Amino acid sequence: MREISVKLITEKVRDLCIKANTDLGEDVLQAFDRAKGKEESPLGLEILKELKENARIAKEEDVPICQDTGFTIVFIELGQDVHLVGGDLNEAIQEGVRQGYRDGYLRKSICHPFTRANTGDNTPAIIHTEVIPGENVKITVAPKGGGSENMSRVVMLTPSDGVEGIKQFIVQRVRESGSNPCPPTIVGVGIGGTFEQAALLAKKSLLRSLGSKNPDPELDKLESGILNEINKLGIGPQGLGGRTTSLAVHILMMPCHIASFPLAVNIQCHAHRHKETII
């Protein structure tokens, strides 16, 4: 049994909120470079260059990549041999978000659904906790912008829709989203499970490194097939026309009920922010 103070969790969450919002991952920058090699639209190329320059400025000057510093989503993988001491884990995470958004000069974007009154400190964060073997705690902070989240959907397809039905729904969703989710996007897909599990799978699929292969060869093939169809749409960077509508399609799949065929599409903007640490 290993003891970990929740104060350490607060500290790590605070730092991850700031780092995720100011330091775009190397995998995303490399994906921009790959896209630049294929983009035919002069405006599209110009935008891809701007995105790289923007990421450079944000990192160097320690300022947010995007003004929408997002809803803070926190994934916790808690080793079952860890004993958390010194307080409430949930509250420790919320406090980390509070401190991160205050100290990092990040925008507070969370409000009451009806009155639209801002909560003032970007809490509550969305927390997904999973208990795993071992005595470590893995924390991932993934701020999610409103524009791309608004373009996401969950649908309960009919089993007879098959793989073709999945392809059609995803490509159609990207087409209808147009310029709204700030393309080039990353398309997170969850297949199977239940209504809420499909959405969580789609969200989690976004955490995989860009440019990496899906470990399941069948899904890997499906990912490249769908990406190819998406990039024929012509939407392009920022929706102004071009070849780079999406940088990647990521799929996570699990078994579903014999009567069901759930599909979730979680669209992620090019400001694809997530950072993790292991305690």
Partner 1 sequence: MKYGVYMSGPIRLKPPLSDEDVEKLKIGDRVMISGVIYTGRDAAHKKLFDLLKEGKDLPIDIKGQIIYYVGPTPAKPGQIFGSAGPTTSYRMDAYSPSLIERGLKGMIGKGMRSDVVKEAMRKHKAVYFAATGGAGALLAKRVKKAEIVAYDDLGPEAIRRLEVEDLPVIVVNDVRGNDLYIEGEKKYRT
Q: What is the nearest approach in angstroms of partner 1 to the Cβ of residue 56?
A: 9
* Cβ-based nearer residue to partner 1, 25 or 239: 239
CB neighbourhood size of 196 (10 A)? 12
Tokens 């995303």 locate to 28
* Cβ-based nearer residue to partner 1, 148 or 214: 148
Q: What is the nearest approach in angstroms of partner 1 to the Cβ of residue 201?
A: 25
Which stretches of the chain bind partner 1, using CB under 8 A? Answer: 40-43, 46-47, 50-51, 53-55, 57-58, 61-69, 105-107, 118, 145, 147, 178-180, 182, 232-236, 238-243, 269-271
* Cβ-based nearer residue to partner 1, 11 or 62: 62
Helix/strand/coil (H/E/C) assignment for every residue in the chain? CEEEEHHHHHHHHHHHHHHHHHCCCHHHHHHHHHHHHHCCCHHHHHHHHHHHHHHHHHHHHCCCCCCCCCEEEEEEEEECCEEEECCCHHHHHHHHHHHHHHHCCCCCCCECCCCCCECCCCCCCEEEEEEECCCCEEEEEEEECHHHHCCCEEEEECHHHHHHHHHHHHHHHHHHHCCCCCCCEEEEEEEEECHHHHHHHHHHHCCCCCCCCCCCHHHHHHHHHHHHHHCCCCCCHHHCCCCCCEEEEEEEEEEECCCCEEEEEEEECCCCCCEEEEC
Q: What is the nearest approach in angstroms of partner 1 to the Cβ of residue 170?
A: 17
Burial class (CB in 10 A: 0-12, 13-18, 19+), 37: exposed
φ, ψ for residue 122, nearest 5 deg: 65, 5
Q: What is the nearest approach in angstroms of partner 1 to the Cβ of residue 210?
A: 16
Q: What is the nearest approach in angstroms of partner 1 to the Cβ of residue 146?
A: 8
Q: What is the nearest approach in angstroms of partner 1 to the Cβ of residue 77?
A: 29
Q: What is the nearest approach in angstroms of partner 1 to the Cβ of residue 67?
A: 4
* Cβ-based nearer residue to partner 1, 202 or 271: 271
Q: What is the nearest approach in angstroms of partner 1 to the Cβ of residue 161?
A: 25
* Alpha-carbon Rg for the chain in angstroms: 19
* Cβ-based nearer residue to partner 1, 82 or 269: 269
* Cβ-based nearer residue to partner 1, 71 or 128: 71
* Cβ-based nearer residue to partner 1, 12 or 243: 243
* Cβ-based nearer residue to partner 1, 107 or 138: 107
